[in-house]
Amino acid sequence: MTSVSIVDIAKAAGVSPSTVSRALQDHPRISPARCAEIQALAQQMGYRPSQVARSLVTGQTRALGFVVTDVTDPFVAEVLKGAEAACRGEGYSLLFAMSNRNPDQEIEAAHLLLDRQVDGLIVISSRAGDRYAALLQERSLPLVLVNNELQHRHAYSVRMDNQGGARLAVGHLWELGHRRIAFVAGPAGGRSSSERLAGYRAGMATRGLMIDEAWIVAGGGLLEDGARALAALMHLPQPPTAVLCYNDMAAIGLLAAAQAAGVHIPDDLSIVGYDNIPFSAFTTPALTTVDQPKQTLGRLAVQTCLAALGDGASNDRLVEGSLVIRSSAGPAA
C-alpha cells in the first residue's frame, strides 16, 4: 500500500502543500475551521506524518531511550509496560537496550540510544549511576533513574520507598511470632539492595531484635541465590525461622530449594519476597511479598522525563509500596 503524502492531501483539498503542512501543525496563519477540515481529510486518507521529517524541523525525535538490566526480568517487563502506555499516550516511541547487569555495558547501552538521537534517557535499576555525570556533561538531555538517583541538574529520580517496604515485611513476620529473621541481599553496590538491607536492619532494631550477621546472605536477585541461601542458613547452629528476600526471584529460588530439601513452607520456614511480580501469586505456596507498583514507576518515569523536556524542570518521585499477604509466611513454630 502506497503511503499518503502531503502532496496527495493538497491535491485532494485543492490547496498548496505548504498550506496542508501548516494546517497539520495548527499554524495561526490557517483558520481553525480550515485546519480542522484538512486534518480530517488527512485522517480519512490515512496520512501518517514522517517522524524523520518532523525531527529535522523540530530537533526532536519523539522517542525516549530505556536502558534495562534484562528485558526477560519480570520486574523490568512490568515497568516497561507502564512506560510504553505512557509514551503511546503522548505520541512518543520507546527504544531500549540491555545492560545485562554490567555497569560497562550499561554505559555502552546509554551511548547506543543517544546515538539514535532519543530526546530523553530512562535507566531502570542502574548499576552505574554515578557514571552518568560525565555523560550528561556531553549531552544536555533529561535523565531519569528508576530506583536510583544522581545529584545533577539534568538527572531525576523515580523510586520505591525500599526501606519502608522492607520494614513492612519485617513487621509482618514479627507479628507472626518470628524473632530469627534472615535477609537474602541483592546486587552488591546496588541502591535498592542497600536500601532494603537498611530497612531490614531498621525493622529488626525497632522491635529490639538482634541480628546474627550470618543471617545476611549475599546475592544478586537471581533464582540461584535462593538455593545458595538455603544451604547457608539451614546449617547454622540457630537457623532462622523466616527469610526476607531482596526480590521475588530470589524468594522463588529459595522456595523451590526448600521444597526439594524437604523443608516445609511455611511450617518450617516462612519466606517473604519483594516486587510482587506476576509469578509470585502462582507459586506453591503463593508468595507473600512487598508490592512494588511497577507500571506506576514506568508511567511516572515517562511523565518526569517529558516534564523536564517541556520546561526544563521536573521533580523526583517517591512511591510507597504495600504488603501482599499470601501463604508462604505463617506463624513461627
**54 falls in which pLDDT band (50, 70, 90)?**
low
Q: What is the C-alpha R_g of the chain?
A: 25
Q: Are residues 182 and 256 in the same domain?
A: yes
Q: Are residues 289 and 224 in the same domain?
A: yes
Per-residue pLDDT at 231 exceeds 80: yes
Q: Are residues 148 and 250 in the same domain?
A: no
Q: Mean pLDDT throughout 100-120?
A: 92
Q: Are 288 and 255 in contact (CB under 8 A)?
A: no
Query: What is the pLDDT, as a whole number, of residue 312?
Result: 65
In a domain, 105, yes or no: yes
Grid cell in block for residue 298: 514506568
Per-residue pLDDT at 59 exceeds 60: no
Query: What is the pLDDT, as a whole number, of residue 4?
Result: 78
Number of structural domains, the chain? 3
Per-residue pLDDT at 268 exceeds 60: yes
Q: Are strands 155-160 and 317-319 parallel, antiparallel or unpaired?
A: parallel
In a domain, 55, yes or no: no
Query: pLDDT tens, 127-181?
Result: 887 888 888 877 778 999 999 888 888 899 999 999 999 999 999 999 999 999 9
Q: Are residues 147 and 241 in the same domain?
A: no
Q: Are residues 128 and 167 in the same domain?
A: no
How far apart (Å, rounded) are the C-alpha atoms in residues 150 and 320?
20
Q: Are residues 204 and 92 in the same domain?
A: no
Per-residue pLDDT at 6 exceeds 90: no
Q: Are residues 65 and 116 in the same domain?
A: yes
* Cis amide prior to 266 (ω within 30 degrees): yes
Q: Mean pLDDT throughout 37-57?
A: 69
Per-residue pLDDT at 57 exceeds 70: no
In a domain, 301, yes or no: yes
Q: Are residues 209 and 230 in the same domain?
A: yes
Q: For the ranges 63-77, 109-123, 132-146, 220-234, which has the lowest average pLDDT?
A: 132-146
Q: Mean pLDDT throughout 113-127?
A: 91
Query: What is the pLDDT, as a whole number, of residue 42?
Result: 85
In a domain, 218, yes or no: yes
In a domain, 166, yes or no: yes
Q: Mean pLDDT throughout 317-325?
A: 95
**225 falls in which pLDDT band (50, 70, 90)?**
very high
How far apart (Å, rounded) are the C-alpha atoms in residues 43 and 95?
26
Q: Mean pLDDT throughout 52-70?
A: 70
* N-terminal to C-terminal alpha carbon distance within the chain: 69
Q: Are residues 280 and 238 in the same domain?
A: yes
| Cα-based torsion angle of the residue sequence 174, 160, 297, 141 in order, rounded to the nearest 10 degrees | -170
In a domain, 56, yes or no: no
In a domain, 167, yes or no: yes
CATH number of the domain bearing residue 81: 3.40.50.2300
**56 falls in which pLDDT band (50, 70, 90)?**
very low
Q: At what angle do helices 294-311 and 74-89 cross, to 10 degrees?
A: 40
What's the Cα-to-Cα distance from 273 to each of 36, 138, 148, 174, 259, rounded to whole Å? Answer: 54, 40, 20, 15, 16
Q: Are residues 93 and 144 in the same domain?
A: yes
In a domain, 54, yes or no: no
Chain Cα centroid distance, residue 128: 15
What is the span of the domain harbouring residue 89? Answer: 61-160+294-320
Q: Are residues 18 and 134 in the same domain?
A: no
Q: Are residues 172 and 148 in the same domain?
A: no
How far apart (Å, rounded) are the C-alpha atoms in residues 187 and 197?
11
Query: What is the pLDDT, as a whole number, of residue 52?
Result: 46
